[in-house]
Structure 1
Amino acid sequence: MNSQSLKIAGLAVAAILSFGSCTKNFEEINKNPYGSTDTDLQGDYAIVAAQLQQAQRSIYLYQPVPSFQLQQNLLGDVFSGYMMSATPFAGNSNNLNYNLLDGWTSSAFTIAYANVMNPLYKSIQFSKDKKLPDAVGMSEILRVAAMHRISDIYGPVIYTKYNTPNAEGGVDFDSQQEAYNAFFADLKDAVAQLTPFAGKTASTLFAKADLVYGGNYTKWLRFANTLRLRLALRIVRIDPAKAKQEGEAALADPAGLLLDASDNFLVDIGSTTHPLNTINGSWDDIRMGAPMESIMGGYADPRLPKYFRTATDAAVAGKYKGIRNGINIDAKERYVGYSKLAEFASKIQLMTAAEAWFLKSEAALRGWANAGSAQANYEQGIRVSFDQYKLADADTYINNSTAKPLAYADPKASTAGSNDVTTGSPYLSTITIKWDAAASFERNLERVITQKWIANYPEGQEAWSEFRRTGYPKLFPVVINNSGGKISTTDFVRRAIFPSNEYQTNNAAVQRAIGMLSEPKDVGGTHLWWDPKQ
């Protein structure tokens, strides 16, 4: 590796993998993360609160930072177009130019089972036994919030069969369709568990466990409904009837969806530094992605200075300058002067109210009941995003009918060729901001998803998933493709490969999981179930 941070990350992953398969030996992994035994903590249910806190802080891991860098930053954050690294890791042949490295792509899988599924499994079992329905509800919501991300990375996932060994001593995967059906069932049950508590003062356990809303049941219900709508739209291309059923159920629930910035799902990590601040600052390992420069720059988006800093490199000083994905980087010094990320507060953003409005806008475009007006929801999504950053005059932005994304040029390298992004390129969007009622469904869908992409920053995992589902916003293909033909340059990366550790310890189940994919190939170019090839 060419970066000290990745060397550290490799050690961190090796330490996690030394436990053996992360889907076996369940009760031993993270058995005692807070220094007390289960028996010690059962008296006031502190063990449940501790397990729920651990899960919330690990969906998007805040520490150790090297593990987060692999779990999220050098995966979804980059594949979404939000960010790109100036560092030529592994001789500039790595995830960023489609040579998917097992040491990188295994991290999200390992962390999810060790740090999220295991404590939530224990929390649910204990809470059901002690008849603590609010803790059951929170646990189920968190389990879906974490594991749909893992399914959206790999496809088949160990979910309903977790902690249920098969005849071979391993654990079987659910197909992605089976997993999504289980996600919807869990969210439905969670809402049923929490609805009787709406408007009431939280139990001591629930308030202690809640790192997001401080024990507000109604906001957890809104989060669950919005998550259900997100997942309903995720499967709309492969199972439109099921998508409509689940989406309309979410829209009809009396608690509603996330409404404004006070409803944003932000996990409080206390005084700990946000991991992106470390990777962006002292490590200098991440910078603005070229699509952000093109889209937000073209729109003269007032959120730009809230998201990024201007470049310091002499060639582009004072401008917002992003790095194109998959380019030839000979040395870190070449691009490290491009735009840094702005500093983040000590809260991890997993979902915003702006996203809820954009989801509702797409649901309205599709004619789903109780979705309201597609235009009104779209415009409210922009307003709520502006409010999140304390920006005024959203209406001027909303009514801009001429601004379009800008062509991208890199003064330090030639990116011309079959996948260039100059004016007229199929990879350069021409979508404007102002709603156009006369436009086609697809044109307005691009409008909705592009604005949702801007508002969801910096949560790259969700942005990558939505790009794969819709093709929006239009992103720039990699210039260098080191996949050896496993990933198409123009089709982009569709998934991550299963960890080698699962092959070693759970091989028969992994082979069956590969057979559940759209193509029986464990490669980055294989489409997921909800992402059928056009």
Structure 2
Amino acid sequence: MNIKHNINTILSISASLLLLSTSCTKNFKEYNTNPIGLTNEQINADFTLASAFLQQAQRGIIPEDVGSYQLAENLTSDSYSGYMGAEAPFRSNSNNLTYDLVDGWNSSIWSYRYTNVMNPTYKVINLAAENPNFKDLDAFARIVRVSAMSRVSEKIGPIIYSQYNVMNEQNYIAYDKQTDIYNYFFEDLESAINTLKGLVSSDVSSQMLKSDLAYTENNYENWLRYANTLRLRLALRLVYVDAGLAKTQGEAALDPANGGLLSENSQNCFINLSVSHPLNVIGYEWSDTRMGAPMESIMGGYNDPRISKYFEPATDPVVAGQYKGIRSGIEIDSKARYDSYSKLDFFNENKLQIMVAAESWFLKAEAALRGWANAGDAKTNYETGIQKSFEMYGLGASASAYINDGTSKPKPYIDPKSVTTGQNDITTGSSYLSTITIKWDDGATNDKKLERIITQKWIAIFPDGEEAWAEYRRTGYPILFPVVVNYSAGAIPTIPGVRRIPIPLSEYNTNTAGAEEAAGTLGGPDTGGTRLRWDVEDKSF
């Protein structure tokens, strides 16, 4: 892969984005002002354009563009979550993975979603306000907006959301603080949920059918379930910092009167892509990503049959036939050293996974552990989450034996090709090698029960590195491996590791007062070592 090529790809304007461009030269104006030179009358004449905006936004929840995906996802959260590791020593091995955070890479986290999600959803919401026949598109736009922008906030912290396209009297655009942003997410979700509840028994409109890239039937019901599941996900994110709000929002999501959660694999949310799956390109055409070492340790130790659905056996003669992962943040002298470790299994369907039913069962398991109304039984939810994940990969018949395995544990990680012998190994007895087993134990502490839930959720939601990294920072689970090489010059401690991505330099350069004001709310310097609000030090149950 050519990093310069990818950055140029992100900054270039594709034909599809010409609809969203303006004559403004300031980045903050491009990202935060009305970008569409079309009147509502023009769009009302043909809802095809509104549907096109929503299709673009869905494909921006997780970037479908491969260059943007690599920089915004694969070289941050895919690796920080333990899912994947890069075999190439980008920038002489001084890069995100060794904690020398690269703004030229990380700015795509911000720019891609403001261009491809906030802009088009903003226009659709404004359009729907003037056209009551588009109330379903209003709900849809709000769900998509929260889906994407919560991911940005959970990497960076404060973001521009409620003040999008609003220049204040001081001539800058203000950010929403971390203490406020989730309230805006919940407001959008509640509005969408209430709308879809009123439509769920109605015929799906032609504009919704044209807009929806995930479902071909039961569109209103499925997006209603998705919205409730997203609400529960975000509610649990706040459980350590605002237990009252978390419980209120979580119980609203769990209330069956609000439409239910994703519960079956037929309701899984996968977005149809207009290009090749980015991980196929990154993994096979560019040969830039491989299995992460924690996946080898945890799935290998559990003898988890899903490993063959996620990865290919290594072909390097030293480890041929094994599922072999790369530990992130290590000394790498050349790409050839690890290029023949395990590739990701090829994604045969050209779809990006956004959320699956298994996750909702694990969310319910934690909610039950916390005593929230309508959450059900923690053990039943936990085991159902595993069952649904196995069924998703055609392995349903193997689930029972796995669920009842009370002895298997994550296995030591040994890297036979490390530059310095033994430097990358995680051996028996290491504090970074979990001892958690699979089988539910009613007699375990709540902390151990939570570790079981999150570890299995981590396995089940692969390859969604953003959500996996967010949950790791929130809960401390699953137990992952620290970096070996740290080039942050003290900005990011090796333990507990990188906690966030800084506000992009483009914002400091073009929305200076807004960025500086936002940075002042972080509770620490604008570096990768400062925790987000919900990432508390004391994570005990």
Residue equivalent to 1:60: 62
Q: CA deviation at 1:360?
A: 0.1
The one-letter amino acid paired with 2:121 is L
Give the alignment partner of residue 458 of structure 1, picking from 454, 460, 463.
463
Whether the 8 Å contact between 1:23 and 1:163 is mirrored in structure 2 is no
Q: CA deviation at 1:193?
A: 1.1
Residue equivalent to 1:74: 75
Residues in 1 aligned to 2:409 and 2:24: alpha-carbon distance in whole angstroms: 51
**Cα offsets for 1:321-376 (capped at 9, x unmatched):** 00001111100000000000001121110111000000000000011110000000
Identify if the C-alpha distance between structure 1 residues 293 and 136 changes in structure 2 by more than 3 Å, giving closer, same or farther: same
| Residues 1:398 and 2:403 are matched in the alignment | yes
| Residues 1:273 and 2:301 are matched in the alignment | no
Whether the 8 Å contact between 2:175 and 2:515 is mirrored in structure 1 is yes
Q: CA deviation at 1:37?
A: 7.9
Whether the 8 Å contact between 2:32 and 2:114 is mirrored in structure 1 is no
| Residues 1:201 and 2:203 are matched in the alignment | yes
Moved more, 124-133 or 358-367: 124-133
SS in structure 2 at match of 1:340: coil
Q: CA deviation at 1:22?
A: 4.2
The one-letter amino acid paired with 2:291 is M
Whether the 8 Å contact between 2:499 and 2:528 is mirrored in structure 1 is yes
Residues in 1 aligned to 2:467 and 2:421: alpha-carbon distance in whole angstroms: 28
RMSD of the TM alignment (CA)? 1.8
Residues in 2 aligned to 1:67 and 1:430: alpha-carbon distance in whole angstroms: 37
Give the alignment partner of residue 368 of structure 2, picking from 346, 359, 364.
364
Identify if the C-alpha distance between structure 1 residues 90 and 20 changes in structure 2 by more than 3 Å, giving closer, same or farther: farther
Residues in 2 aligned to 1:424 and 1:514: alpha-carbon distance in whole angstroms: 40
Residue equivalent to 2:310: 307
Residues in 2 aligned to 1:37 and 1:335: alpha-carbon distance in whole angstroms: 53
Q: CA deviation at 1:282?
A: 1.0
Residue equivalent to 2:17: none
Residue equivalent to 2:144: 142
**Cα offsets for 1:151-185 (capped at 9, x unmatched):** 00100010000000122322100001211011011
Deviation above 3 Å: which 4+ runs of structure 1?
13-23, 25-32, 36-41, 414-417
Q: CA deviation at 1:39?
A: 5.3
TM-score, normalised by the number of residues in structure 2: 0.94
Identify if the C-alpha distance between structure 1 residues 11 and 19 changes in structure 2 by more than 3 Å, giving closer, same or farther: farther
Residue equivalent to 1:227: 230
Residue equivalent to 2:168: 166
SS in structure 2 at match of 1:232: helix
Whether the 8 Å contact between 1:170 and 1:505 is mirrored in structure 2 is no
Residue equivalent to 2:517: 512
Residue equivalent to 2:18: none
Whether the 8 Å contact between 2:28 and 2:510 is mirrored in structure 1 is no
Identical counterparts, % of pairs: 51
Q: CA deviation at 1:67?
A: 1.5
Residue equivalent to 2:8: 11
Give the alignment partner of residue 499 of structure 1, picking from 490, 498, 504.
504
Whether the 8 Å contact between 2:27 and 2:510 is mirrored in structure 1 is no
Identify if the C-alpha distance between structure 1 residues 133 and 106 changes in structure 2 by more than 3 Å, giving closer, same or farther: same
Q: CA deviation at 1:116?
A: 0.4
Identify if the C-alpha distance between structure 1 residues 282 and 129 changes in structure 2 by more than 3 Å, giving closer, same or farther: same
The one-letter amino acid paired with 1:130 is N
Identify if the C-alpha distance between structure 1 residues 79 and 218 changes in structure 2 by more than 3 Å, giving closer, same or farther: same
Whether the 8 Å contact between 2:413 and 2:426 is mirrored in structure 1 is yes
**Cα offsets for 1:50-96 (capped at 9, x unmatched):** 11100001111112x11211121111111110000001101100001
Residue equivalent to 2:109: 108
User: Gaps spanning 5+ residues in structure 1: where?
Assistant: none
The one-letter amino acid paired with 2:282 is I
Q: CA deviation at 1:498?
A: 1.0
Identify if the C-alpha distance between structure 1 residues 175 and 21 changes in structure 2 by more than 3 Å, giving closer, same or farther: farther
Q: CA deviation at 1:513?
A: 0.5
Residues in 1 aligned to 2:31 and 2:175: alpha-carbon distance in whole angstroms: 15
Residues in 1 aligned to 2:342 and 2:31: alpha-carbon distance in whole angstroms: 43
Give the alignment partner of residue 328 of structure 1, picking from 307, 331, 337.
331
Residues in 2 aligned to 1:109 and 1:438: alpha-carbon distance in whole angstroms: 44
Give the alignment of 1:439-450 within 5 angstroms.
439-450=444-455
Identify if the C-alpha distance between structure 1 residues 106 and 25 changes in structure 2 by more than 3 Å, giving closer, same or farther: closer
SS in structure 2 at match of 1:350: strand
Whether the 8 Å contact between 2:406 and 2:438 is mirrored in structure 1 is yes
Whether the 8 Å contact between 1:29 and 1:114 is mirrored in structure 2 is no
The one-letter amino acid paired with 1:380 is T
**Cα offsets for 1:191-232 (capped at 9, x unmatched):** 111111113220001111011112510111100000000000
Length, aligned pairs only: 524
Whether the 8 Å contact between 2:33 and 2:164 is mirrored in structure 1 is no
SS in structure 1 at match of 2:353: strand
Residue equivalent to 2:385: 381
Identify if the C-alpha distance between structure 1 residues 469 and 28 changes in structure 2 by more than 3 Å, giving closer, same or farther: closer
Residues in 1 aligned to 2:9 and 2:376: alpha-carbon distance in whole angstroms: 48
Identify if the C-alpha distance between structure 1 residues 440 and 264 changes in structure 2 by more than 3 Å, giving closer, same or farther: same
Moved more, 123-132 or 221-230: 123-132
Identify if the C-alpha distance between structure 1 residues 99 and 19 changes in structure 2 by more than 3 Å, giving closer, same or farther: farther
